[in-house]
Structure 1
Amino acid sequence: MKYDEFLNKVRELGEYADRDEAEHVAHSVLGTLAPRLPADGVEHLAAQLPEPLTEPLHRGELENAESFGVEEFLDRVAAATGARPMTAEWDASATLTAVAENVSGGELNQLLSQLPSEFATLFGHPELSG
């Protein structure tokens, strides 16, 4: 998938006013997700996303993954986007659902296995959350 197509999907899912808003949200969410993933998880995800999305992933990447749950993730997304917590959940879901639709099934399974089960809902797969 091309970068513009990805942003259009995020814009559609998040019902954002324009491309710039969708781009800001997508970059913020991915940059916030990166520290939660092990370095090889970031590399595998970045390999399956359009090139401009690799920058926020690598910017947020750490040598060792941090351990935080969905609530902390959403608080960090809210801080990154300047949004309220409910809006942060909407933003995260729009971006991560677009990610789930644009990576291979194997990559999605690997990605979800590296996160607490509650993250599955944000990726558009509530049936996988525990």
Structure 2
Amino acid sequence: MRMRWDAFLAAVQERGKYSSRDEAERAARVVLALLGAHLVGEVRAQLADRLPETCALVLLNPLQAYEPLSPDRFVRATAAWIEGATEKTATWDVSAVLSVVADVAQEDLLNRLLLQLPPGYDLLFGRPAVAT
């Protein structure tokens, strides 16, 4: 069942301790766009089916990444796309969004998703060693 946009944003806002929905939405859009650039095929489509429609469109629209970003480079890329962000705040943003994505994906899909990403993303999703 597809999660509602309001519920998704509320969860991101709570986990990220953002003072406004706008901050949560900005983080969600940037992180989902970067994530979408790294996922392909059925896994990306299945995740999009579980996310709110707004999130699904962001996830499905980016061009494929030229090369997979390591978790550290993913955080740095997030920082580059969010005005005023540092690597520390971007780590917070990535974790807030991806932990909600992990809940939405549930374990089976999350495990398949992690297989498409370089090692270490399990920590960004707040699920250390889930893919082992």
TM over 0.5: yes
In the aligned structure 1, how far is the partner of 2:71 from the partner of 2:48?
21
Query: Among 31, 37, 40, which residue is 1:38 paired with?
Result: 40
Structure holding more helix per residue: 1
Deviations 1:4-42 (A, max 9, x none): 111111000000011111011101100011111224332
Farther off after superposition, 113-122 or 5-14:
113-122
Q: Does 1:74 align with 2:75?
A: yes
Deviations 1:68-120 (A, max 9, x none): 21111111111111211111110000000001111232211111111123000
Query: Which blocks of at least 5 consecutive residues in structure 1 are unaligned?
Result: none
Q: Once superposed, what is the RMSD of the aligned Cα atoms?
A: 1.8
Structure 1 position 128, deviation (Å): 3.6
| One-letter code aligned to 1:47 | D
Deviations 1:43-78 (A, max 9, x none): 22111111010121122242x773221111111111
State the partner residue of 2:14.
Answer: 12
Q: Residues 119 and 129 of structure 1 are in contact (CA less than 8 Å); yes or no, is this contact kept in structure 2?
A: no
Query: Which blocks of at least 5 consecutive residues in structure 2 are unaligned?
Result: none
Give structure 1 regions of 4+ aligned residues with deviation exceeding 4 angstroms.
Answer: none
Q: How many residues align?
A: 129
Farther off after superposition, 110-119 or 8-17:
110-119
Find the residue that maps to 2:129 and give its secondary structure: helix
1:1-130 equivalence runs, <5 A: 1-62=3-64, 66-82=67-83, 83-128=85-130
In the aligned structure 2, how far is the partner of 1:94 from the partner of 1:78?
14
With the length of structure 2 as denominator, give the TM-score of the two structures: 0.88
With the length of structure 1 as denominator, give the TM-score of the two structures: 0.89
Find the residue that maps to 1:103 and give its secondary structure: helix
In the aligned structure 2, how far is the partner of 1:129 from the partner of 1:80?
28
